Structure 1
Amino acid sequence: MTGFEPRIIAFCCQHCAYAAADLAGGSRLNYPESLHIVQLPCTGRVDVLHLLKSFEEGADGVLVAGCLPGRCHYLKGNLHARQRIDHLRQLLDRIGFETDRARMINISAAMGVRFAELATEFTERIRQLGPNLLAVPAPPPATQSPGTTP
């Protein structure tokens, strides 16, 4: 789809994935500018409702990026996040929404190159799928009548 730049929301663990994204940026590695990173203490904190809300507000794809298995600073947060992503994908499938729009990756803080590769691959996949047609349009801004004060 020409001209379409997907809006991706990436929920990143501060200890691993966020550090990997920071390493990628500091190393001047390219990853899509349309990737908007939300830093979390742990991916175990992300809820299915947060992910669904991202789609509702116009995200074309949602990426959850956590620690490597067995390396979570909060023991099992990344495992809980994986279960939530699996549940989200089941919900998306039920409503006829492409399940590929939600993905979880596991990386370490030292994997800046891999973060950039995975972010680029995910963005390309979302570009192939096209825009999120289920996004709820934002309401128009409220207008004031002349002579009224806020």
Structure 2
Amino acid sequence: MEKRESGNGESFYPKIIAFCCYYCAYSAADLAGSLRLQYPPTVRMIEQPCSGKVDIRLLLQAFEDGADGVYVAGCMDGDCHFLKGNIRAKKRVNAAKKILDKVGVGGERLEMFNLSGSMGPRFAEIANEMTERILRLGPNPLNTARAERARKGEEGDPK
């Protein structure tokens, strides 16, 4: 994993959360592992029964909790096991991107991908693409603001 410097000269290893549909995307991730395909350890997967279960609040909470990037991986268009879950997920991702742009985090840190269970190599590509994107964008602005407050001795995160 390539180490990059953040704006304040510290090492930056991105934290990327992948919300994966159990039937397709998670199966693709499992296949990528079975094929021993390499992708960065920066991606942390969260299995979902359907990508349609991912709501805007969950996406925004991931960034608030320190994720530098987030993606939702669901079934192929028109092939959702729950009929329209992936369509709902795509609408929610687009709405969350607009909110992230408005609050200064940046909508480009969030993305939606469609996969079938047989697309293990594509899952690894997506993990690499998102890692490169986040390395290019740098740390989540919310994380850097917290770190700056902590350096100045201000009251930090209540967690």
Global fold match (TM > 0.5)? yes
Q: Residue 6 of structure 1: which of 6, 11, 14 is its match?
A: 14
Of structures 1 and 2, the larger Rg is shown by 1
Counterpart check, 1:105 vs 2:113: yes
Deviation at 1:139, TM superposition (A): 3.9
1:20 aligned partner: 28
Q: Residue 47 of structure 1: which of 34, 49, 55 is its match?
A: 55
1:38 aligns to what SS in structure 2? strand
Amino acid at match of 2:95: H
Q: Which moved more, 1:8-17 or 1:130-139?
A: 130-139
TM-score normalised by structure 1 residue count: 0.89
Amino acid at match of 2:61: K
For residues 96 and 9 of structure 1, the distance between their equivalents in structure 2, rounded to whole angstroms, comes to 19
Deviation at 1:44, TM superposition (A): 0.2
Superposition pairs of residues 1-150 of structure 1, within 5 angstroms: 1-2=4-5, 3-135=11-143, 138-139=157-158
RMSD: 1.3
Unaligned runs of 5+ in 1: 141-150
**1:106-135 deviations in whole A, cap 9, x for unaligned?**
010000001100110111100111111214
For residues 45 and 157 of structure 2, the distance between their equivalents in structure 1, rounded to whole angstroms, comes to 21
Amino acid at match of 2:86: N
Which gives a bigger RCO, structure 1 or 2 (Cα 8 Å, sep 6+)? 1
Deviation at 1:81, TM superposition (A): 0.1
**1:32-85 deviations in whole A, cap 9, x for unaligned?**
111110000000000100011100010000110000001100000000000000
1:87 aligns to what SS in structure 2? helix
Amino acid at match of 2:87: L
Number of aligned residue pairs: give it.
140
TM-score normalised by structure 2 residue count: 0.84
Runs of 4+ deviating beyond 6 Å = none
For residues 103 and 54 of structure 1, the distance between their equivalents in structure 2, rounded to whole angstroms, comes to 13
Unaligned runs of 5+ in 2: 6-10, 147-155
1:148 aligned partner: none
1:144 aligned partner: none
CA contact (8 A) 2:105 2:141 kept: no
